[in-house]
Structure 1
Amino acid sequence: MTAERVSQTREQAVQLSGGDAGAVEGPLQGYHHETYVIALPGAAADGEDDDESEPRRVKCRAPRERLLWFDRRCFLSEEQLLETLQGRISRIPGLVDVGGIRLQRFIEGRTLGAVHGPGRPVPEHVLDQILRLFGELIAVAPGTVRAERRCRAEDRAEDRDCAGFLDGLIRFAEERVYEANLDAFGGLFAALGVDDESFGRLRKHVLVPGLTRRPFSLLHADLHRENFVLDPVGRLWTIDWELAMLGDPLYDLATHLHLMAYPAAQEDRVIEGWLAVAERSAPGSTDGWRDDFPRLRDFKRAQSVFTDVIRATQVLGDGRALNWRRWFAESVKVQRVLERAAVPLGLDEVPTLTAVARSLRDWHRRHRG
């Protein structure tokens, strides 16, 4: 990101806050956007049901430049999607009109990850709210979502074609993540035992003999602990809808469990609860889940190899200076991801931690030196 773009985004935030630079907080930590929070005394929000007396705060943001995207995006505007979902999905950011610009309300509170980190159990009252969210998502049929789409019509699987939906996700990872970045990362992937034949093995593992047909619904597609916010009275809000899509509801569950890292006993409780709310919201949504869920989860494990390897290189340090602490931490993470994806990617041998660390170090020397 250039200093000029940072200045432009912050200047816009200051301007929207009435010229008060002290009313601007940020930039907030985030991968996809440069985000500031601004106070707007007297602003009226759409779809809000609380009685906050403090001035409302909203998010002013802009996409980061030269960003590597690892996930397919379905809707043209997150704000437009949120507008269509008001009243249908509980506790999502409302929208505020500021000088003709639609901004998202900033949800006051702490992320679920800050309160209950990865691997830790989630309190039952929070889990109940997550399951309620799944029920509401599954009840949103594709034909009822009026937000404008950005993906091409030929790339959209037809309703209930769960195999076509999954194959589309594999194709995106193959073409837009792996092949599009071969010049920079092909050597690193090869050193880790991953090549273009990995996708053929992945398709054989997850798509043969096919997936059960299930009615499509709205998916958040990124439900992890940092995208849930607990407000001061314990209500759970869901933020960051940019990766939302329409597709197989079982994929949303597989993605959620992959990202949340629940303790094993609580994961079983989530699956049981999801099955109940899914069938109530859209009969047929759980058909074939016993056979298909493991395959969807294996896809997520394989997908993580391509995203996490590239992301690891982005934090190793600038110029010749290798950040040794991050290098070790990312080496451990990448080696663990390769272990989990060994079966779906058909890896004959998983590189050792030493081999992974050496591969990342060598990549940094070649591309950052």
Structure 2
Amino acid sequence: MTSQLTGVRQRADELVGESGVVTGPLKGYHHETYVLTMPGETRIVKLREPRERILWFDRRCFRSEEALLRALNGRISRIPVIHDVEGMALQVFIEGRTLKSRPWGDRRIPQPIHGQIVDLFRELARVTPDTLEVERSCEAQDRAEDGDCDDFLDRLIVFVEQQVYEKNFPAFGRLFTELGLHPEAFVHLRKNVSGLVRRDFCLLHADLHRENFVLDPHNRLWSIDWELAMLGDPLYDLATHLYLMSYPAEQAQRMAGDWAEAVGGVRPDSVRGWADDLGRILDFKRAQSVFTDVIRLSLSLRDGSNINWVRLPSAVRKLQTIMTAAAVPLGLAEIPSRSRIAGALVRYAGEGA
């Protein structure tokens, strides 16, 4: 166990004392998380801290997730409540099962859950930049003007280009190059996704996937992990949700239509041109995934001083599928064969093993 893990566990033990209970760590990539049952308390809370040496691929717009959740209390239904424990703001643990663990086939979700997700989008549309007083982590000059969806998306492209591609190029540059991922890809990406119409901005969760939805014992849907929330183009939230959920085509189409009706009912100017622009933003999500997954999948093949050969076939298939989906927006001349992808991944993994 690393010193960080020991430190977080020690803090958890100190908070609960001898008569409390600590459960964990919970499964999670970015954080080490423990569930604390406090003595004399009915609430169960979470203590979590970022793991060391974890790569982060997403822009953060609020300094404190807990401060954001406090501000959203009463405005967004079924989000974690903040409970103060010895001067620390901790999130109350939501008991239930994530949508990822539910046994539904072909990635379809039941209609009652579909409706609750649509309700969340409706509530998000009501939280506008001028009504949310929470400290931001980006300077005012670095934010897109309210309604400028083209600039909003371009700033996300800049983040991927600078913080994912360029920042990691010293370590992953050879792998990027062998897979045909050159800097010119970002020129093609901007050309293929530009031209968005103006839409009024609102609060976005920006990470609504199956593991961030918890269904409680009463079949109420809770949304968790708000650390990637931002203020911006509401259509970006829908596109991200559709991309991450991988709905069957019919349900994806229905979700998009229901989103437009719900958000448009709150703020008509927030859905202007959505049907034409949705594909462009989905193309950005596909392109973004290429750069992040090249890094993640290559790292997943390192198993201490060895290469994890068992994981290699699935990593190769997944990466080829992702690159195929993003070929047009990135202007890729060709998609590497599986043997080429496998060779590049093995060479990278072998260098670090």
TM bucket, shorter chain? over 0.9
Cα offsets for 1:212-262 (capped at 9, x unmatched) = 000000000000000000001100000000000000000000000000010
What is residue 32 of structure 1 aligned with on the other side?
Answer: 30
Listed as ranges, the matches of 1:128-207 within 5 Å are 128-207=115-194
TM-score, with structure 1 as normaliser:
0.93
The AA in structure 2 aligned to 1:183 is P
Q: Deviations over 1:182-202 (max 9, x none)?
A: 011111011111011100010
Query: Which whole-Å deviations, capped at 9, do the CAs of 1:262-308 have from their partners, x for residues lacking one?
Result: 01111111011001001012121111112211000000000000111
Alignment pair present for 1:238 and 2:223: yes
Q: For 2:83, what is the secondary structure of its paired residue?
A: strand
- 2:88 corresponds to: 101
For residues 189 and 336 of structure 2, the distance between their equivalents in structure 1, rounded to whole angstroms, comes to 19
SS at match of 1:324: coil
Work out whether residues 299 and 349 of structure 2, in 8 Å CA contact, stay in contact via their aligned partners in 1.
no
Q: 1-side partners of 2:288 and 2:156: how far apart?
A: 9
Q: Return the offset for 1:330.
A: 1.4
Identity level (%): 56
Who is 1:5 aligned against?
4
Q: Aligned residue for 1:361? A: 346
Q: Which runs of 5+ in 2 are unaligned?
A: none
Contact 1:119–1:260 (8 Å) recurs in 2: no
- Deviation digits for residues 139-158 of structure 1 (CA, Å, limit 9, x no counterpart): 11011111111112222101
Q: Distance in 1 between matches of 2:224 and 2:18?
A: 27
The CA distance in 2 between the partners of 1:59 and 1:353, in whole Å, is: 42
What is the distance in 1 between the residues matched to 2:105 and 2:189? 27
Q: Secondary structure in 2 aligned to 1:25? A: strand
Contact kept, 8 Å, 2:302 with 2:352, in 1: the verdict is no
Secondary structure (helix, strand or coil) at the match of 2:53 reads coil
Residue 125 of structure 1: aligned partner: 112
Query: 1: distance between equivalents of 2:105 and 2:137?
Result: 33
What is the aligned partner in structure 1 of residue 98 from structure 2? 111
1:314 is paired with a residue of what secondary structure?
A: helix
The separation in 2 between residues aligned to 1:286 and 1:352, in whole angstroms, is 40
Equivalent residue for 1:92? 79
1:119: how far off?
4.0
> In structure 2, do the counterparts of structure 1 residues 365 and 95 end up closer, same or farther at CA, with 3 Å as the change threshold?
same
Q: Distance between the aligned counterparts of 1:367 and 1:328, measured in 2?
A: 19
Deviates more, 1:315-324 or 1:70-79: 315-324
Structure 1 70/178 Cα, relative in aligned 2: closer, same or farther at 3 Å?
same
Matched letter for residue 26 of structure 2: L
Tell me: CA distance 1:24–1:137, structure 2 relative to 1, closer, same or farther (3 Å): same
**1:267 maps to what in 2?**
252
**Residues 26-51 of structure 1: per-residue CA shift (max 9 Å, x gap):** 111112111001102443xxxxxxxx
Question: 1:318 Cα shift?
Answer: 3.0
Give RMSD over aligned pairs.
Answer: 1.3
Q: Counterpart of 1:284 in 2: which secondary structure?
A: helix
What pairs with 1:13-32 in structure 2 (closer than 5 Å)?
13-20=12-19, 23-32=21-30
> Number of aligned pairs?
353
For residues 303 and 291 of structure 1, the distance between their equivalents in structure 2, rounded to whole angstroms, comes to 20
Does the CA contact (< 8 Å) of 1:58 and 1:104 recur in 2? Answer: yes
76 and 117 in structure 1: CA distance in 2 versus 1, 3 angstrom threshold: farther
Matched, 1:251 2:236: yes
Tell whether the 8 Å contact from 1:118 to 1:260 is kept in structure 2 after alignment: no
Consecutive unaligned residues in structure 1, runs of 5 or more: 44-54
